[in-house]
Amino acid sequence: MKLNAFTWIIVTLAVTAWVFILPLEAVATILVLQLVLLLYIKRSKTMLAAIGGLGVFTGMMVLLQLLFGSPLDVSLFGGLRMLVMTLAFLCMLATTRIQSIAKALVDRFHLPVEYAFMLTAALRFVPNFLEDSTITLDAQSCRGYSNRGNALKRLLSYVVVIRPLVMRAVAKSETLALSMELRGFGANTYKNMPKEKFTAVDFVVLLIVVVLSTYPFWKKLLPA
Amino acid sequence: MKSVVSVKDFYFKYLRSGLVLKNINIEVEEGPFTVIIGPSGAGKTTLCKAITGIVPYYSGGDYAGDVKVLGETTKGKKVSDLAMKVGLMLEDYESQLVSLTAGEEVAFSLLNHGFPPEEAEERTRRALEDVGLPGRESYQLDELSGGQRQRLALASLLAVHPEIIVLDEPVSAMDPDGGESLYKLLNKIHKEHGTTFIVVEHRVEFVLPYVTNLIAVKNGEIAAQGSCEAVVADIYEDQELRPLLPELWQIKCSLEKKTGQTFALWRSAEEAAKELQAKGFGKGVRA
Protein backbone atom coordinates (compact mmCIF):
# COMPACT_ATOMS: atom_id res chain seq x y z
CA MET A 1 0.00 0.00 0.00
CA LYS A 2 1.68 3.17 -1.19
CA LEU A 3 0.12 6.59 -1.20
CA ASN A 4 0.49 9.05 -4.03
CA ALA A 5 2.79 12.05 -3.31
CA PHE A 6 -0.17 14.39 -3.82
CA THR A 7 -2.14 12.53 -1.14
CA TRP A 8 0.81 12.76 1.25
CA ILE A 9 1.11 16.52 0.73
CA ILE A 10 -2.60 16.94 1.39
CA VAL A 11 -2.42 14.74 4.51
CA THR A 12 0.60 16.67 5.81
CA LEU A 13 -1.08 20.02 5.25
CA ALA A 14 -4.28 18.70 6.79
CA VAL A 15 -2.47 17.43 9.91
CA THR A 16 -0.90 20.86 10.43
CA ALA A 17 -4.43 22.29 10.38
CA TRP A 18 -5.99 19.49 12.47
CA VAL A 19 -3.71 20.10 15.43
CA PHE A 20 -5.49 23.43 15.86
CA ILE A 21 -9.07 22.27 15.30
CA LEU A 22 -9.22 18.74 16.71
CA PRO A 23 -9.52 17.99 20.45
CA LEU A 24 -6.52 16.88 22.51
CA GLU A 25 -7.48 13.18 22.39
CA ALA A 26 -7.61 13.23 18.59
CA VAL A 27 -4.23 14.99 18.29
CA ALA A 28 -2.70 12.45 20.71
CA THR A 29 -4.17 9.62 18.61
CA ILE A 30 -2.55 11.13 15.48
CA LEU A 31 0.77 11.21 17.33
CA VAL A 32 0.49 7.52 18.20
CA LEU A 33 -0.44 6.68 14.59
CA GLN A 34 2.53 8.70 13.30
CA LEU A 35 4.97 6.94 15.64
CA VAL A 36 3.60 3.52 14.68
CA LEU A 37 3.88 4.40 10.99
CA LEU A 38 7.43 5.73 11.28
CA LEU A 39 8.67 2.74 13.26
CA TYR A 40 6.87 0.38 10.86
CA ILE A 41 8.57 2.01 7.84
CA LYS A 42 12.07 2.11 9.24
CA ARG A 43 13.08 0.94 12.67
CA SER A 44 16.64 2.21 12.37
CA LYS A 45 18.95 4.24 14.58
CA THR A 46 18.58 7.23 12.26
CA MET A 47 14.81 7.15 12.54
CA LEU A 48 14.93 6.82 16.33
CA ALA A 49 17.45 9.68 16.46
CA ALA A 50 15.19 11.86 14.29
CA ILE A 51 12.16 11.15 16.48
CA GLY A 52 14.27 11.64 19.62
CA GLY A 53 15.63 14.94 18.28
CA LEU A 54 12.14 16.22 17.62
CA GLY A 55 11.12 15.07 21.11
CA VAL A 56 13.96 17.01 22.72
CA PHE A 57 13.10 20.09 20.65
CA THR A 58 9.47 19.78 21.74
CA GLY A 59 10.58 19.55 25.36
CA MET A 60 12.56 22.77 24.95
CA MET A 61 9.54 24.51 23.42
CA VAL A 62 7.37 23.39 26.37
CA LEU A 63 9.98 24.70 28.83
CA LEU A 64 10.16 28.03 27.02
CA GLN A 65 6.39 28.41 27.16
CA LEU A 66 6.45 27.62 30.89
CA LEU A 67 9.21 30.18 31.40
CA PHE A 68 7.10 32.80 29.68
CA GLY A 69 4.26 32.10 32.10
CA SER A 70 1.95 29.79 30.12
CA PRO A 71 -0.03 27.27 32.21
CA LEU A 72 1.27 23.68 32.14
CA ASP A 73 -1.65 22.22 30.17
CA VAL A 74 -1.40 24.93 27.49
CA SER A 75 2.37 24.43 27.21
CA LEU A 76 2.04 20.67 26.92
CA PHE A 77 -0.71 20.90 24.30
CA GLY A 78 1.36 23.47 22.38
CA GLY A 79 4.35 21.12 22.41
CA LEU A 80 2.18 18.21 21.31
CA ARG A 81 0.83 20.26 18.41
CA MET A 82 4.32 21.15 17.27
CA LEU A 83 5.51 17.56 17.54
CA VAL A 84 2.57 16.23 15.53
CA MET A 85 3.09 18.88 12.84
CA THR A 86 6.79 18.13 12.41
CA LEU A 87 6.24 14.37 12.54
CA ALA A 88 3.73 14.77 9.70
CA PHE A 89 6.50 16.13 7.49
CA LEU A 90 8.82 13.37 8.68
CA CYS A 91 6.19 10.77 7.72
CA MET A 92 5.86 12.31 4.26
CA LEU A 93 9.62 12.40 3.69
CA ALA A 94 10.06 8.86 5.02
CA THR A 95 7.38 7.37 2.78
CA THR A 96 7.64 9.40 -0.42
CA ARG A 97 10.52 10.06 -2.80
CA ILE A 98 11.49 13.72 -2.80
CA GLN A 99 11.30 13.71 -6.62
CA SER A 100 7.67 12.58 -6.44
CA ILE A 101 6.89 15.33 -3.95
CA ALA A 102 8.54 17.89 -6.26
CA LYS A 103 6.60 16.54 -9.25
CA ALA A 104 3.31 16.70 -7.34
CA LEU A 105 4.06 20.27 -6.24
CA VAL A 106 4.67 21.28 -9.87
CA ASP A 107 1.82 19.31 -11.46
CA ARG A 108 -0.90 19.78 -8.86
CA PHE A 109 0.06 22.91 -6.97
CA HIS A 110 1.62 24.75 -9.94
CA LEU A 111 4.79 25.50 -8.02
CA PRO A 112 7.45 26.89 -10.43
CA VAL A 113 9.91 24.14 -11.44
CA GLU A 114 12.87 26.14 -10.10
CA TYR A 115 11.44 26.07 -6.57
CA ALA A 116 10.47 22.42 -6.79
CA PHE A 117 13.95 21.53 -8.01
CA MET A 118 15.43 23.21 -4.94
CA LEU A 119 14.06 20.32 -2.87
CA THR A 120 16.00 17.76 -4.92
CA ALA A 121 19.10 19.93 -5.21
CA ALA A 122 19.16 20.57 -1.45
CA LEU A 123 19.06 16.85 -0.68
CA ARG A 124 21.60 16.13 -3.42
CA PHE A 125 24.11 18.66 -2.10
CA VAL A 126 23.77 18.21 1.67
CA PRO A 127 26.33 15.34 1.76
CA ASN A 128 28.71 17.34 -0.48
CA PHE A 129 28.35 20.39 1.75
CA LEU A 130 29.12 18.34 4.86
CA GLU A 131 32.14 16.82 3.14
CA ASP A 132 33.34 20.28 2.08
CA SER A 133 32.90 21.63 5.59
CA THR A 134 35.10 18.83 6.99
CA ILE A 135 37.77 19.49 4.35
CA THR A 136 37.68 23.26 4.97
CA LEU A 137 37.80 22.79 8.72
CA ASP A 138 40.83 20.49 8.41
CA ALA A 139 42.56 22.86 5.99
CA GLN A 140 42.00 25.89 8.23
CA SER A 141 43.07 23.91 11.32
CA CYS A 142 46.38 23.25 9.55
CA ARG A 143 46.70 27.01 9.10
CA GLY A 144 46.16 27.70 12.79
CA TYR A 145 42.37 27.85 13.18
CA SER A 146 41.34 26.91 16.70
CA ASN A 147 37.87 26.77 18.22
CA ARG A 148 39.02 27.51 21.75
CA GLY A 149 37.92 30.40 23.92
CA ASN A 150 34.52 31.77 24.85
CA ALA A 151 31.42 31.41 22.64
CA LEU A 152 31.86 34.84 20.99
CA LYS A 153 35.52 34.21 20.26
CA ARG A 154 34.70 30.80 18.77
CA LEU A 155 31.91 32.28 16.67
CA LEU A 156 34.17 35.01 15.29
CA SER A 157 37.03 32.64 14.56
CA TYR A 158 34.63 30.33 12.70
CA VAL A 159 34.38 33.00 9.98
CA VAL A 160 37.63 31.64 8.50
CA VAL A 161 35.84 28.34 7.91
CA ILE A 162 32.54 29.83 6.73
CA ARG A 163 34.06 32.13 4.12
CA PRO A 164 35.87 29.51 1.97
CA LEU A 165 32.96 27.14 2.48
CA VAL A 166 30.54 29.68 1.04
CA MET A 167 32.91 30.42 -1.85
CA ARG A 168 33.12 26.70 -2.66
CA ALA A 169 29.35 26.39 -2.47
CA VAL A 170 28.91 29.34 -4.84
CA ALA A 171 31.40 27.85 -7.32
CA LYS A 172 29.61 24.51 -7.18
CA SER A 173 26.23 26.14 -7.62
CA GLU A 174 27.53 27.87 -10.77
CA THR A 175 28.61 24.51 -12.19
CA LEU A 176 25.25 23.04 -11.21
CA ALA A 177 23.40 25.88 -12.95
CA LEU A 178 25.49 25.38 -16.08
CA SER A 179 24.92 21.65 -15.99
CA MET A 180 21.16 22.17 -15.68
CA GLU A 181 21.20 24.61 -18.58
CA LEU A 182 23.19 22.16 -20.72
CA ARG A 183 20.73 19.42 -19.93
CA GLY A 184 17.62 21.38 -20.78
CA PHE A 185 16.21 21.96 -17.30
CA GLY A 186 12.84 23.71 -17.58
CA ALA A 187 9.13 23.16 -17.93
CA ASN A 188 9.61 19.60 -19.23
CA THR A 189 11.69 18.47 -16.26
CA TYR A 190 8.77 17.23 -14.20
CA LYS A 191 6.19 16.96 -16.99
CA ASN A 192 7.93 14.01 -18.64
CA MET A 193 8.66 12.06 -15.48
CA PRO A 194 6.62 8.85 -15.17
CA LYS A 195 3.22 9.62 -13.62
CA GLU A 196 2.14 8.12 -10.30
CA LYS A 197 -1.39 6.72 -10.37
CA PHE A 198 -4.11 7.34 -7.83
CA THR A 199 -5.37 4.17 -6.19
CA ALA A 200 -8.48 3.42 -4.16
CA VAL A 201 -6.41 3.88 -0.98
CA ASP A 202 -5.61 7.47 -2.03
CA PHE A 203 -9.29 8.23 -2.46
CA VAL A 204 -10.15 6.68 0.92
CA VAL A 205 -7.40 8.69 2.66
CA LEU A 206 -8.47 11.91 0.95
CA LEU A 207 -12.09 11.23 2.04
CA ILE A 208 -10.93 10.80 5.66
CA VAL A 209 -9.02 14.09 5.34
CA VAL A 210 -12.18 15.87 4.17
CA VAL A 211 -14.26 14.35 6.99
CA LEU A 212 -11.76 15.26 9.71
CA SER A 213 -11.06 18.71 8.29
CA THR A 214 -14.73 19.61 8.41
CA TYR A 215 -15.00 18.39 12.04
CA PRO A 216 -15.90 21.84 13.50
CA PHE A 217 -18.84 22.10 11.09
CA TRP A 218 -20.42 18.70 11.51
CA LYS A 219 -19.64 18.56 15.25
CA LYS A 220 -22.47 21.04 15.73
CA LEU A 221 -24.83 18.66 13.94
CA LEU A 222 -24.05 15.74 16.23
CA PRO A 223 -26.41 15.13 19.16
CA ALA A 224 -24.89 16.35 22.41
CA MET B 1 36.14 13.54 -43.92
CA LYS B 2 33.26 15.59 -42.55
CA SER B 3 34.24 18.54 -40.35
CA VAL B 4 32.29 18.34 -37.08
CA VAL B 5 33.72 21.40 -35.34
CA SER B 6 34.85 24.45 -37.22
CA VAL B 7 36.07 27.55 -35.40
CA LYS B 8 36.85 30.52 -37.65
CA ASP B 9 38.69 33.72 -36.64
CA PHE B 10 37.27 33.44 -33.13
CA TYR B 11 38.15 36.02 -30.50
CA PHE B 12 36.64 36.12 -27.03
CA LYS B 13 36.88 38.07 -23.81
CA TYR B 14 34.86 37.65 -20.62
CA LEU B 15 33.22 40.71 -19.11
CA ARG B 16 35.94 42.62 -17.27
CA SER B 17 38.85 40.54 -18.61
CA GLY B 18 41.43 40.76 -21.36
CA LEU B 19 41.25 38.64 -24.52
CA VAL B 20 41.08 34.98 -23.49
CA LEU B 21 40.97 33.51 -26.99
CA LYS B 22 42.66 35.15 -29.97
CA ASN B 23 42.40 34.32 -33.65
CA ILE B 24 41.28 30.75 -33.07
CA ASN B 25 40.95 28.66 -36.23
CA ILE B 26 40.26 24.98 -35.69
CA GLU B 27 38.88 22.19 -37.84
CA VAL B 28 38.01 18.94 -36.07
CA GLU B 29 37.02 16.15 -38.40
CA GLU B 30 34.61 13.34 -37.62
CA GLY B 31 36.13 10.48 -35.68
CA PRO B 32 39.52 11.41 -34.24
CA PHE B 33 40.49 11.43 -30.58
CA THR B 34 41.75 14.98 -30.19
CA VAL B 35 43.64 16.18 -27.14
CA ILE B 36 43.98 19.87 -26.29
CA ILE B 37 47.15 20.71 -24.38
CA GLY B 38 48.50 23.98 -23.08
CA PRO B 39 49.86 25.66 -19.96
CA SER B 40 47.48 26.67 -17.15
CA GLY B 41 45.47 29.77 -18.06
CA ALA B 42 46.09 29.30 -21.78
CA GLY B 43 42.36 29.25 -22.57
CA LYS B 44 41.75 25.49 -22.97
CA THR B 45 38.57 25.41 -20.87
CA THR B 46 37.23 28.53 -22.58
CA LEU B 47 37.89 26.87 -25.94
CA CYS B 48 35.86 23.83 -24.82
CA LYS B 49 33.08 26.16 -23.72
CA ALA B 50 33.20 27.94 -27.08
CA ILE B 51 32.76 24.62 -28.88
CA THR B 52 29.71 23.83 -26.75
CA GLY B 53 28.16 27.31 -27.14
CA ILE B 54 28.48 28.18 -23.45
CA VAL B 55 30.89 30.90 -24.46
CA PRO B 56 29.56 33.45 -25.23
CA TYR B 57 25.85 32.56 -25.22
CA TYR B 58 25.56 31.41 -21.59
CA SER B 59 28.47 33.05 -19.79
CA GLY B 60 28.33 36.39 -21.58
CA GLY B 61 31.31 38.35 -22.88
CA ASP B 62 32.43 39.89 -26.17
CA TYR B 63 33.32 37.80 -29.16
CA ALA B 64 34.09 37.92 -32.85
CA GLY B 65 34.20 35.13 -35.40
CA ASP B 66 32.11 32.00 -35.67
CA VAL B 67 31.89 28.49 -34.24
CA LYS B 68 30.15 25.81 -36.26
CA VAL B 69 29.14 22.44 -34.84
CA LEU B 70 28.11 19.80 -37.38
CA GLY B 71 27.87 22.50 -40.03
CA GLU B 72 25.57 24.79 -38.04
CA THR B 73 26.63 27.97 -36.31
CA THR B 74 26.24 28.01 -32.53
CA LYS B 75 24.94 31.58 -32.74
CA GLY B 76 21.36 31.88 -31.52
CA LYS B 77 21.20 28.23 -30.43
CA LYS B 78 20.15 27.18 -26.94
CA VAL B 79 23.05 25.51 -25.13
CA SER B 80 20.75 22.61 -24.19
CA ASP B 81 19.93 21.98 -27.87
CA LEU B 82 23.62 22.10 -28.74
CA ALA B 83 24.32 19.71 -25.87
CA MET B 84 22.28 17.06 -27.70
CA LYS B 85 24.98 17.10 -30.39
CA VAL B 86 28.05 17.98 -28.37
CA GLY B 87 28.24 16.75 -24.79
CA LEU B 88 30.47 18.44 -22.24
CA MET B 89 31.88 16.99 -19.05
CA LEU B 90 33.37 19.69 -16.85
CA GLU B 91 36.41 19.28 -14.62
CA ASP B 92 34.16 19.43 -11.54
CA TYR B 93 31.99 16.53 -12.67
CA GLU B 94 30.62 16.02 -9.14
CA SER B 95 28.75 19.32 -9.24
CA GLN B 96 27.46 18.43 -12.69
CA LEU B 97 25.33 15.64 -11.23
CA VAL B 98 21.90 17.00 -10.42
CA SER B 99 19.73 14.04 -9.43
CA LEU B 100 19.49 11.69 -6.49
CA THR B 101 19.78 8.32 -8.22
CA ALA B 102 21.93 7.04 -11.09
CA GLY B 103 18.92 6.26 -13.29
CA GLU B 104 17.38 9.70 -12.83
CA GLU B 105 20.72 11.33 -13.51
CA VAL B 106 21.10 9.63 -16.89
CA ALA B 107 17.44 10.16 -17.82
CA PHE B 108 17.45 13.85 -16.81
CA SER B 109 18.50 15.26 -20.22
CA LEU B 110 16.32 12.79 -22.10
CA LEU B 111 13.15 13.65 -20.20
CA ASN B 112 13.88 17.36 -20.45
CA HIS B 113 14.14 16.99 -24.21
CA GLY B 114 10.78 15.26 -24.43
CA PHE B 115 11.85 11.62 -24.90
CA PRO B 116 9.05 9.22 -23.89
CA PRO B 117 9.74 7.61 -20.46
CA GLU B 118 10.06 4.11 -22.05
CA GLU B 119 12.77 5.26 -24.46
CA ALA B 120 14.50 7.24 -21.71
CA GLU B 121 14.52 4.08 -19.59
CA GLU B 122 15.99 1.97 -22.39
CA ARG B 123 18.67 4.53 -23.24
CA THR B 124 19.53 4.89 -19.54
CA ARG B 125 19.96 1.14 -19.21
CA ARG B 126 22.24 1.00 -22.26
CA ALA B 127 24.30 4.06 -21.27
CA LEU B 128 24.92 2.61 -17.81
CA GLU B 129 25.97 -0.68 -19.40
CA ASP B 130 28.34 1.16 -21.74
CA VAL B 131 30.18 2.78 -18.85
CA GLY B 132 30.38 -0.40 -16.80
CA LEU B 133 27.57 0.38 -14.34
CA PRO B 134 24.88 -2.08 -15.44
CA GLY B 135 21.80 -2.35 -13.25
CA ARG B 136 22.73 0.59 -11.02
CA GLU B 137 19.67 2.69 -11.96
CA SER B 138 18.29 2.75 -8.42
CA TYR B 139 21.63 3.47 -6.70
CA GLN B 140 21.80 6.71 -4.73
CA LEU B 141 24.69 8.92 -5.85
CA ASP B 142 26.39 8.63 -2.46
CA GLU B 143 26.41 4.84 -2.88
CA LEU B 144 28.76 5.24 -5.86
CA SER B 145 32.51 5.80 -5.58
CA GLY B 146 34.20 8.88 -7.09
CA GLY B 147 35.24 6.93 -10.19
CA GLN B 148 31.76 5.49 -10.60
CA ARG B 149 30.23 8.96 -10.31
CA GLN B 150 32.52 10.12 -13.09
CA ARG B 151 31.38 7.20 -15.23
CA LEU B 152 27.82 8.17 -14.41
CA ALA B 153 28.45 11.72 -15.65
CA LEU B 154 29.80 10.16 -18.84
CA ALA B 155 26.74 7.89 -19.11
CA SER B 156 24.44 10.90 -18.92
CA LEU B 157 26.32 12.38 -21.89
CA LEU B 158 26.23 9.10 -23.83
CA ALA B 159 22.50 8.61 -23.30
CA VAL B 160 21.62 11.49 -25.63
CA HIS B 161 23.87 9.97 -28.35
CA PRO B 162 25.95 13.09 -29.03
CA GLU B 163 28.23 13.02 -32.06
CA ILE B 164 30.96 14.88 -30.18
CA ILE B 165 32.02 14.58 -26.54
CA VAL B 166 34.19 17.26 -24.95
CA LEU B 167 35.91 16.47 -21.64
CA ASP B 168 37.75 19.03 -19.56
CA GLU B 169 40.60 17.38 -17.63
CA PRO B 170 38.63 14.24 -16.79
CA VAL B 171 41.40 12.58 -14.77
CA SER B 172 42.76 15.62 -12.92
CA ALA B 173 41.59 14.29 -9.53
CA MET B 174 42.21 10.61 -10.21
CA ASP B 175 44.96 8.18 -9.32
CA PRO B 176 46.98 6.65 -12.21
CA ASP B 177 44.91 3.43 -12.26
CA GLY B 178 41.65 5.37 -12.33
CA GLY B 179 42.96 7.61 -15.10
CA GLU B 180 44.07 4.67 -17.25
CA SER B 181 40.80 2.86 -16.72
CA LEU B 182 38.74 5.94 -17.69
CA TYR B 183 40.71 6.44 -20.89
CA LYS B 184 40.36 2.75 -21.74
CA LEU B 185 36.62 3.21 -21.41
CA LEU B 186 36.64 6.38 -23.53
CA ASN B 187 38.63 4.55 -26.21
CA LYS B 188 36.10 1.70 -26.18
CA ILE B 189 33.24 4.18 -26.66
CA HIS B 190 35.25 5.97 -29.35
CA LYS B 191 35.75 2.71 -31.24
CA GLU B 192 32.25 1.29 -30.73
CA HIS B 193 30.14 4.41 -31.27
CA GLY B 194 32.46 6.39 -33.55
CA THR B 195 32.02 9.41 -31.27
CA THR B 196 34.44 12.27 -31.86
CA PHE B 197 36.32 13.02 -28.63
CA ILE B 198 37.93 16.33 -27.72
CA VAL B 199 39.76 16.12 -24.40
CA VAL B 200 41.64 18.76 -22.47
CA GLU B 201 44.44 16.92 -20.72
CA HIS B 202 47.51 17.96 -18.75
CA ARG B 203 48.78 14.41 -18.32
CA VAL B 204 48.97 13.18 -21.92
CA GLU B 205 50.66 9.92 -20.74
CA PHE B 206 47.21 8.56 -19.88
CA VAL B 207 45.85 9.16 -23.33
CA LEU B 208 49.05 8.23 -25.19
CA PRO B 209 47.78 4.97 -26.72
CA TYR B 210 44.60 6.57 -28.07
CA VAL B 211 45.29 10.18 -29.07
CA THR B 212 45.21 10.78 -32.83
CA ASN B 213 45.23 14.60 -33.03
CA LEU B 214 46.71 17.37 -30.90
CA ILE B 215 45.77 21.00 -30.47
CA ALA B 216 48.28 23.10 -28.52
CA VAL B 217 47.00 26.33 -26.99
CA LYS B 218 49.31 29.04 -25.69
CA ASN B 219 48.35 32.50 -24.43
CA GLY B 220 44.88 32.13 -25.92
CA GLU B 221 46.16 31.26 -29.39
CA ILE B 222 46.54 28.02 -31.29
CA ALA B 223 50.24 27.19 -31.29
CA ALA B 224 49.94 23.93 -33.25
CA GLN B 225 47.22 21.59 -34.47
CA GLY B 226 46.95 18.44 -36.55
CA SER B 227 47.72 14.75 -36.36
CA CYS B 228 50.18 13.80 -33.62
CA GLU B 229 52.76 12.72 -36.20
CA ALA B 230 52.61 16.15 -37.84
CA VAL B 231 52.74 18.41 -34.78
CA VAL B 232 54.79 16.69 -32.08
CA ALA B 233 58.09 18.02 -33.46
CA ASP B 234 56.72 21.60 -33.58
CA ILE B 235 55.41 21.37 -30.02
CA TYR B 236 58.77 19.98 -28.87
CA GLU B 237 60.53 23.04 -30.30
CA ASP B 238 58.45 25.34 -28.11
CA GLN B 239 60.15 25.60 -24.71
CA GLU B 240 56.87 26.35 -22.91
CA LEU B 241 54.90 23.53 -24.52
CA ARG B 242 57.64 20.88 -24.48
CA PRO B 243 57.05 19.73 -20.87
CA LEU B 244 53.42 19.08 -21.75
CA LEU B 245 54.38 16.32 -24.17
CA PRO B 246 54.60 12.80 -22.74
CA GLU B 247 58.15 11.88 -21.71
CA LEU B 248 58.34 9.17 -24.38
CA TRP B 249 57.68 11.71 -27.12
CA GLN B 250 60.18 14.13 -25.61
CA ILE B 251 62.81 11.37 -25.72
CA LYS B 252 61.85 10.53 -29.31
CA CYS B 253 62.18 14.16 -30.43
CA SER B 254 65.43 14.59 -28.55
CA LEU B 255 66.89 11.42 -30.12
CA GLU B 256 65.75 12.45 -33.58
CA LYS B 257 67.47 15.79 -33.12
CA LYS B 258 70.69 14.26 -31.84
CA THR B 259 70.96 11.28 -34.20
CA GLY B 260 69.21 12.57 -37.31
CA GLN B 261 67.22 9.34 -37.42
CA THR B 262 63.43 9.16 -37.53
CA PHE B 263 61.47 7.15 -34.98
CA ALA B 264 57.86 6.05 -34.89
CA LEU B 265 55.46 7.88 -32.59
CA TRP B 266 55.75 5.50 -29.63
CA ARG B 267 52.55 4.70 -27.83
CA SER B 268 54.17 2.67 -25.05
CA ALA B 269 57.54 2.14 -23.41
CA GLU B 270 57.61 -1.42 -24.88
CA GLU B 271 57.18 -0.04 -28.37
CA ALA B 272 59.99 2.45 -27.79
CA ALA B 273 62.34 -0.21 -26.37
CA LYS B 274 61.63 -2.51 -29.32
CA GLU B 275 62.44 0.13 -31.93
CA LEU B 276 65.50 1.38 -30.10
CA GLN B 277 66.86 -2.15 -29.82
CA ALA B 278 66.11 -2.79 -33.50
CA LYS B 279 68.05 0.34 -34.43
CA GLY B 280 71.03 -0.75 -32.37
CA PHE B 281 70.73 1.55 -29.41
CA GLY B 282 72.25 -1.04 -27.10
CA LYS B 283 70.93 -4.27 -25.65
CA GLY B 284 70.40 -2.64 -22.29
CA VAL B 285 67.35 -0.69 -23.47
CA ARG B 286 64.31 -2.04 -21.72
CA ALA B 287 60.77 -0.81 -21.19
pLDDT digit string, tens, across residues B120-135:
999 999 999 999 999 9
Per the CB < 8 Å rule, is B58 touching A175? no
Residue A126 has what pLDDT?
Answer: 85
Residue B1 has what pLDDT?
Answer: 72
- Tell me the per-residue pLDDT of A69-106, one tens digit each, with 9 for 90 and over: 999 999 999 999 999 999 999 999 999 988 899 999 99
**Portion of chain A with pLDDT greater than 70, in percent:** 99
- Give the distance from residue A187's alpha carbon to the nearest chain B alpha carbon, in angstroms: 8
Q: At what angle do helices B146-158 and B117-130 cross, to 10 degrees?
A: 130
Interface of B with A in 133-152 (CB under 8 A): 141-142
Q: Which of B49, B58, B95, B96 to mutate to test the interface with A (most CBs of A within 10 A)?
A: B95
- Tell me the per-residue pLDDT of A112-154, one tens digit each, with 9 for 90 and over: 999 999 888 888 888 888 889 999 999 999 998 888 888 888 8
Say which range, A29-43, A116-130, B148-162, B204-218, has the weakest mean pLDDT: A116-130
CA-closest candidate to residue B187, choices B215, B207, B204? B207
Model confidence at A222, pLDDT cuts 50, 70, 90, reads confident
- Tell me the per-residue pLDDT of B200-217, one tens digit each, with 9 for 90 and over: 998 899 999 999 999 999
* Amino acid occupying residue B98: V
What does the alpha-carbon distance between residue A32 and residue B8 come to, in Å, rounded to a whole number? Answer: 70
pTM above the 0.80 mark? Answer: yes
- CB of B79 closer than 8 Å to CB of B50: no
Q: Is the pLDDT of residue A41 over 70?
A: yes
Give the CA angle between residues B68, B189, B224 to the nearest 5°. Answer: 45
- Give the distance from residue B251's alpha carbon to the nearest chain A alpha carbon, in angstroms: 39
Model confidence at B284, pLDDT cuts 50, 70, 90, reads low
Q: Is the pLDDT of residue A44 over 90?
A: no
Contacts of B167 in chain A (CB under 8 A): none
For B194, residues 6+ apart whose C-beta sits below 8 A from its C-beta are: B30, B31
- Give the distance from residue A93's alpha carbon to the nearest chain B alpha carbon, in angstroms: 14
B80 in contact with A at a CB cutoff of 8 Å? yes
Residue B264 has what pLDDT?
Answer: 93
- In total, the C-beta contacts within 8 angstroms joining chain A to chain B are 86
Q: What is the mean pLDDT of chain A?
A: 90
